[in-house]
Amino acid sequence: MTAETLAHLMKQSNRTVVLTGAGMSTESGIPDFRSSTGLWRNINPRIVASTESLQKNYEQFREFYQTRMNSLNNCKPHEGHLILADFEKRGLVSLIATQNVDQLHQQAGSKNVAELHGNIVTIRCQKCGKPHAKEQFLNNSICTYCSGKLRPNVVLFGETLPSEAWDRTLHEIHQADLVIVIGTSLEVYPVNQLPSMSKGKLVYINREQTSTSLHYSFDLVLEGSAGKILADVYQELGDFEK
Ligand code: NAD
Ligand code: ZN
């Protein structure tokens, strides 16, 4: 079971969906959810990254996201992100559905990206919904229209997923011949339901097999880092395009 097998599956597939999680971004220096180091270590995201915290503990909420947003300044897409963007250009990937909120896929040049958990790069007013500049949130401003609280366009615990991104993903997943799941523990509902909604082949690329991932019947499991495995697949594909 190697990168060669995945390259072969990609050549055969007419529609390939890539589903990514925090493990796709760790090689860019962004800690994942369960990392023992970094931002999440002393913080329970279910408490801080929630609608309740936005309403009742806004200072802590704002500081948490300000820190996360500022830390993105030092991060850029890694080779794996660039390879996925190249695959899209060559007709080898139709959609990237991501749980990541860092917009590194877009920065790498991917065009068709469904942000299932929103992003922490753009800002809106919680009350009236109007968009604001990132700097206004970072400067502790309030909404210029209604004085409401500013917040990132991220999906908080207690909120539903953006319907446009979700519907687009479902549409693609239903038609996909191949779904490649990269760097996610598959523990977060409802995104973890997506792989089993596909009739296509299922591939899992992750540093480890998590307890949840063992419940899925993957056709191929590649254990290792996303960047390295994608680089191997890239090599195997040569200049193949659709
Ligand atoms: P998770 O932390 O639950 O799982 C990440 C998985 O990726 C782990 O199983 C880990 O072993 C694996 N992994 C780590 N580095 C890897 C690498 N270089 N190559 C391959 N695999 C690697 O993350 P999740 O499943 O995405 O769920 C976490 C939630 O937290 C999501 O809702 C997400 O929105 C949010 N989150 C986002 C970011 C981000 O935007 N970059 C970062 C942290 C958390
Ligand atoms: Zn407002």
CATH code of the domain in which 231 resides: 3.40.50.1220
User: What's the domain count of the chain?
Assistant: 2
94 compared with 211, residue with greater pLDDT: 94
pTM > 0.85: yes or no: yes
Q: Say if ligand 1 is within 6 A of residue 210 CB.
A: yes
The token duo for 90 is 């060559």
134 with 239, same domain: the answer is no
- Lowest-confidence segment of 29-38, 78-87, 117-126 by average pLDDT: 29-38
**pLDDT tens, position by position, 109-118:** 999 999 999 9
The token duo for 137 is 């949130």
**pLDDT tens, position by position, 169-207:** 999 999 999 999 999 999 889 999 999 999 999 999 999
Strand 113-115 vs strand 131-132: parallel, antiparallel, or unpaired? unpaired
Of the residues 154, 171, 205, the one at which a domain ends: 154
60 with 169, same domain: the answer is no
CA distance 184 to 186: 5
CA distance 177 to 79: 25
Where would I find the H helices in the chain? Answer: 3-12, 45-48, 51-56, 58-72, 79-89, 104-108, 134-138, 163-175, 226-237
Measured on CA atoms in the order 117, 123, 127, 129, is the torsion positive or negative? Answer: negative
70 with 108, same domain: the answer is no
pLDDT of residue 115: 98
Of the residues 128, 154, 180, the one at which a domain ends: 154
Expressed as residue numbers, the domain containing 205 is 1-30+77-117+161-242
pLDDT band of residue 31 (cuts 50, 70, 90) is confident
Question: Which ligand 1 atom is at minimum distance from the Cα of 35?
Answer: 2
Closest CA to ligand 1's atom 32: 99
Q: At how many degrees (to 10) do helices 226-237 and 3-12 cross?
A: 60
pLDDT at 144 over 70: yes
Chain centroid to CA 108: 13
pLDDT band of residue 39 (cuts 50, 70, 90) is low
CATH of the domain at 144: 3.30.1600.10
142 with 207, same domain: the answer is no
Q: Say if ligand 1 is within 6 A of residue 30 CB.
A: yes
pLDDT at 100 over 90: yes
